[in-house]
Amino acid sequence: MSERPNLKQSKETKQPKEEINFEKVSYCLKQIIALNNEYKPGIPRKELSGTSPDNKFRIRKNYFQILTGFLQLLSLYIPHKNEALKNDIQDFVSFFCQDEFRNRMTTQEDLDKAKIIVEKIFSTLGYVLEDNSKK
């Protein structure tokens, strides 16, 4: 039997065990938490390069590449009754995988969209997302 992850599942939205693959969903959620903790929110004051020290900001394209990858994986394990959430994830992934996004500077609006989809995923699946990036 596998150990339960360090995620808080809210009592109001607890999913029945047979509808959700807790192990796979929790893996994806843990990776998203780790990603958000590793990459700083906000926009840095100076331009960053891949070799810049302390360059892990969510504004970087690689943050969005990693996030969209985990969101795609997560969407495979979300129960069918959460079709609206799956559609929201697909819309997010589609937008952030387009050339239009890749060929322009990342904006605060992009960061806001990422924050919104992550918060929506956690609240819809009944988990509390604790942001440790500000500690």
pLDDT tens digits along 23-72: 898 899 999 999 999 999 988 888 777 777 788 889 989 999 999 999 99
pLDDT given for residue 2 in this prediction = 38
Domain count across the chain: 1
State the Cα–Cα distance between residues 132 and 36, nearest whole angstrom. 8
Q: CA-based Rg of the chain, rounded to a whole angstrom?
A: 16
**Contact status, residue 70 vs residue 28, Cβ threshold 8 Å:** yes
In this prediction, residues 80-84 reach a mean pLDDT of 86
Which residue segment(s) compose the domain that 73 sits in?
Answer: 20-41+55-127
E strands, 37-81, are: none
pLDDT band at 18 (very low <50, low <70, confident <90, very high): very low
Query: Is 108 domain-assigned?
Result: yes
Does 134 reside within a domain? no
Mean pLDDT of the residues in the chain: 82
Report whether pLDDT(107) > 50.
yes
Whether the predicted pLDDT of 7 surpasses 80: no
Confirm whether 50 is domain-assigned.
Answer: no
Residue with tokens 């060929």: 103
Distance CA 27, CA 68 (A): 15
Q: Is residue 11 part of a domain?
A: no
- Would 5 be classed as within a structural domain? no
Question: Is 111 within the bounds of a domain?
Answer: yes
For residue 113, being part of any structural domain is answered with: yes
Residue 117: CB atoms within 10 Å = 21
Segment 84-112 mean pLDDT: 95
Render pLDDT for 116-130 as a digit per residue (tens, 0 to 9).
999 999 998 887 655
Residue 12 lies in a domain: no
